[in-house]
Copies of this chain bind each other. A is one copy, B any other.
Amino acid sequence: MEFQALSKEELLQLKGELEQQFKEAREKNLKLDMSRGKPSPAQLDMCMGLMDALNSKTPLYASDGTDCRNYGILDGLPESKQMMAEIMEVSPNKVVVLGNASLPIMYDTISRAMTHGVCGSTPWCKLQKVKFLCPVPGYDRHFAITEHFGIEMINVPMTLEGPDMDMVEKLVNSDPSVKGIWCVPKYSNPQGISYSDEVVRRFANLKPAAKGFRIYWDNAYAVHHLYEDKQDHILNIIDECEKAGNPDMVFMFASTSKISFSGSGIAAVAASEKNLDWMRSSLTLQTIGYDKINQLRHVKYFKNLEGIKAHMKKHADIMRPKFEAVLDILEKNLGGLGIGSWIRPHGGYFISFEAMEGCAKATVEKCKEAGITLTGAGATYPYKKDPADSNIRIAPSFPSPEEMAAAAEIFTLCVKLVSVEKLLAAK
């Protein structure tokens, strides 16, 4: 029965029962963490073979003869471009392979635009106002970068198909201060939503009012499926932009951070020749080259997309039970109560929970009292401000399925308790 339909007396009685349960839960003195969006040790153990991919007897030369031990090669070994191109579903000549993770590349791309503009546009630091569109809920680190540079962020609500494209089109096509939009198009952070074909095509057909407008397409979870038989596929934005006559409108980012070792992987950008030339003209001053030995190590170990896929299947086998533990408990404990909603993602790293308006902070706080750490409420919004105070990000990857189940039981209890309190306050 929906909580909304309960009378004050029923709510009061329920509150009493829930408080008793909460008291018992607290007494267990649990210490569980649902906030860490990082691989578990079991996932990392699976990749230890990477450390044997090269040894002192391995000739450390690339396919083009490059001595990977020395200076040289600005934008990636041919074979690492090939491998990343396969992951990103583009041709290798549209790819540059860079450092240990994609976040620094995104940061650099924004920083470069601040000081030098984008492909000839006015440096953003010389402009009165620069705005970015931010699909919400979204990735906190994207928002932190744009905030750091004083870029005004505008929330764009997510739908089950991707960002609200009516709003995106209206803002991008009319406002010359809108210089970019952050996107996690596949298994989005935190909702696990993959953009529909129509959304991708509408992106590709934007007619930006701003010079140098770009879509910052963070394809972080390109191969991060949870299921063999239920895998999302998104249209390739670079192809679609080309078809639409907007070949330069997108930077696509990807990395092996959650494929091999987080922070010791390799990262890549895919974009048009013009965009990459612009990037290279600055990279050549910025670096004497990225870590080619680590690029070689990754290619020797994974070989190609098939190798990556086989490896990601093992990741899925570890991740899936954790996701399902949480999702099953959400369904069991909250299904039909009308006090929260969530999506069953087919991949990615998160579950997004939408509480009743005004209940997120209180729920996170309540969980903390019972020893359950959640990502701070608001983290999924620009400026850490969730206007509805309703979104909570759950990260199932790090603890065990049993720990996740225990944590989810308490989480759902807290959701119920906070919701009852909220409903009572309105009576």
Contact = CB atoms under 8 A, between A and B. Distances in A.
Interface stretch (A51-59, A179-187, A316-324, A357-365): A51-59
Contacts of A174: none
Contacts of A288: 101, 103, 141, 257, 262-263
Interface in A69-106: 69-72, 99-101, 103-104
A110 to B, nearest CB: 10
A300 to B, nearest CB: 12
Given A56-B49, A58-B51, A71 B38 contact: yes
A294 B264 contact: yes
A244 B112 CA distance: 36
Contacts of A51: 54-56, 58, 60
A44 interface: yes
Contact of A282 (B41, B48, B148, B264): B148
A67 B54 contact: no
A105 to B, nearest CB: 10
A293 interface: yes
Interface in A148-162: 148-149
Contact of A291 (B55, B72, B294): B294
Contact of A39 (B70, B114, B287): B70
A68 interface: yes
A126 interface: yes
Nearest to A107: B286
A187 to B, nearest CB: 18
A218 B263 CA distance: 26
18 contacts: A38-B70, A49-B56, A51-B55, A52-B55, A69-B261, A70-B261, A70-B262, A71-B263, A101-B288, A114-B114, A114-B115, A115-B125, A115-B149, A141-B288, A145-B286, A257-B288, A263-B291, A291-B294
